Structure 1
Amino acid sequence: MNKNEIKLSNGMEMPRLGMGTWFLGEKKQKDDQETAALRAGIDAGIRLIDTAEMYGDGKSEQLIGRAIKGYDRSRLFLVSKVYPHNAGRRKIFKSVQQTLKNLQTDYLDLYLLHWRGAVPLEETVECMEQLVKEGKIRSWGVSNFDTDDMRELLSVPNGDHCVVDQVLYHLGLRGVEYDLLPWLEEHQIPLMAYCPLAQAGDLQKDLLKSSTVKEIAKIHNITPMQVLLAFVLYQPNVIAIPRSGKAEHVLQNWNARKIRLTDVEYGLLDKAFPAPKQKTYLDIV
């Protein structure tokens, strides 16, 4: 059963469906189209927008900053990510300040360590906690952390203040279901799925050609893409951030929140694209 929001461990409510912005803002000629896509999403009711300082070297953040101008900031849930080499005392405070400047906001709702690097986790956590105290961020989490990484994170002081783990997850790539997703559920940490429509590779073509996906799309009078998104959102502990630079696709993604796959339909998808029966390590794109 889908719910539109999920309660984080610190009590914050986070939308379960938002907009990803990887590759957005990188081409000047697409600026108007991508700005319109973001605004169409916000106008339709999308509150969650995900970005990173890595995306276009800040250009994605800048695009979002321009797009959200004039909207009620308190209604939005803004997420960005810090490079691993910037995630220590020497650089993180400058990084977050640049991100806030790019987004034209005073705070982030959620700040993520983009992936593990050389900076000790204990130091990164200390910095994240300091940013929360300063009001620069409301919460923090991680990205591309596998089960062992999460165990290590929770072993350091205040590591259990991590509120989400953002990883690659979609119908054709279900390795997280073997141990990471159950572990996160046990510790009440939502999984934030990037590329939930398998945008990162050729696999999307196989998923969309699937007779099972097509049949379920026909039953619900929806697109195969919406089936892929409904599959990810079927899991109650999962947040999805599909990316699109076109308004019509953003709105299609948003409408997927209304889709309720039956247990039988989920079972058919599960049979067509089964989850692995053994540990498979995280894929990263």
Structure 2
Amino acid sequence: MEIAGEKIFPIGLGTWHMGDDVDKRIQELTALQVGLAQTNSTEKIAIDTAEMYGEGNSEKLVGRALHTIARENVYLISKVYPWNASKRQLPRSLEESLKRLQTDYLDLYLLHWTGEFPLAETVSALQAAKKSGYIKNWGVSNFDVADMQELWQVPDGQNCVVNEVLYNLGSRGIEFDLLPWMKKQQVPLIAYSPIAQGDRLGNQFLSDDLLQRIASDHFVSVFQLLLAWAIRDEKTLAIPQSSNKDHVLANLAAAKIQLSHQEWQEIAARYPAPTKKQPLAVL
């Protein structure tokens, strides 16, 4: 998939909840390093973090992981709190994120969700950061259709290159209106929680006989099948989080899964697309 002309491997590395537990940091660091090592000459591996994650602990962990790979081979994403998204505070938050990440630029900087500051002010601050070279591009997260439409009316708002929202087989609400709007405007999707945090969001994917059968037929896990489903349009970046290096490798391998048209149809029949507007799902 592509974001603003950059070719990105369709499955990246999420880091929410990582970096907080001292006893897990070596395991988490290893998992990230193993994932980043899978980058190739044509597609960068994306790693997604935020100043919110552990109040900077995740960014510090990512910064350590970046030591093992050439910076230009990584697609680095971070996010700013809405209450830090003013013309005055955003540069400060960005500077602190860059320090924690031990890098001098971000490939992508996102407004984490809508806030009280006018979008015009936030966009102006993001544009200034881009002009300065501290970020290559910017986007948004947790924006619904109305939010995106408002953004498109703001000066330079159409320079937004991506929207990151919750999307998985059990949360298809964006397919009714948000995703069609984004595709029309050629705004790629970053899907967080693409495997619905296992079954912790109330789904029963692991015990679903249909998903089990299809996964078995392709010699993959149900989790890998869920990832393949999330990126099926080839315009989506999925960012599953894992602190286990073997799971990270399995996640990345899911990009190679190819289902038949009939198998896609069977899954769609079991988990149908929305037929009416739904509130934007947020975690």
Residue equivalent to 1:254:
252
Residue correspondence of structure 1 range 57-76 to structure 2 within 5 A: 57-76=55-74
Amino acid at match of 1:21: T
Gap runs ≥5 in structure 1:
none
Amino acid at match of 1:27: D
Deviations 1:79-100 (A, max 9, x none): 0000000001121000000000
Amino acid at match of 2:110: L
Q: 2:92 aligns with which of 65, 84, 94?
A: 94
Residue equivalent to 1:6:
2
Q: How many Å separate the matches in 2 of 1:50 and 1:59? A: 13
Q: 1:132 aligns with which of 108, 116, 130?
A: 130
Deviations 1:234-254 (A, max 9, x none): 122211000001101100000
Q: TM-score, normalised by structure 2?
A: 0.96
Residue correspondence of structure 1 range 21-170 to structure 2 within 5 A: 21-45=15-39, 47-170=45-168
Q: How many Å separate the matches in 2 of 1:84 and 1:196? A: 24
Residue correspondence of structure 1 range 168-179 to structure 2 within 5 A: 168-179=166-177
1:204: how far off?
6.0
Q: 2:195 aligns with which of 177, 194, 197?
A: 197
Q: TM-score, normalised by structure 1?
A: 0.95
Q: How many Å separate the matches in 2 of 1:199 and 1:81? A: 21
Q: How many Å separate the matches in 2 of 1:37 and 1:277? A: 39
Q: How many Å separate the matches in 2 of 1:32 and 1:198? A: 25
Residues 118 and 200 (structure 1), Cα distance of their counterparts in 2 relative to 1, 3 Å cut: farther
The sequence identity of aligned pairs, in percent, is: 46
Gap runs ≥5 in structure 2:
none
RMSD: 1.3
1:207: how far off?
1.4
2:15 pairs with 1:17: no
Q: How many Å separate the matches in 2 of 1:213 and 1:39? A: 30
Deviations 1:71-114 (A, max 9, x none): 20011100000000000112100000000000000000000000
Q: Report if the CA contact (8 A) 2:85-2:117 is conserved.
A: yes
Deviations 1:10-69 (A, max 9, x none): x33333210000000010100100000001111222621000000000000000001111
Q: How many Å separate the matches in 2 of 1:201 and 1:59? A: 26
1:184: how far off?
0.4
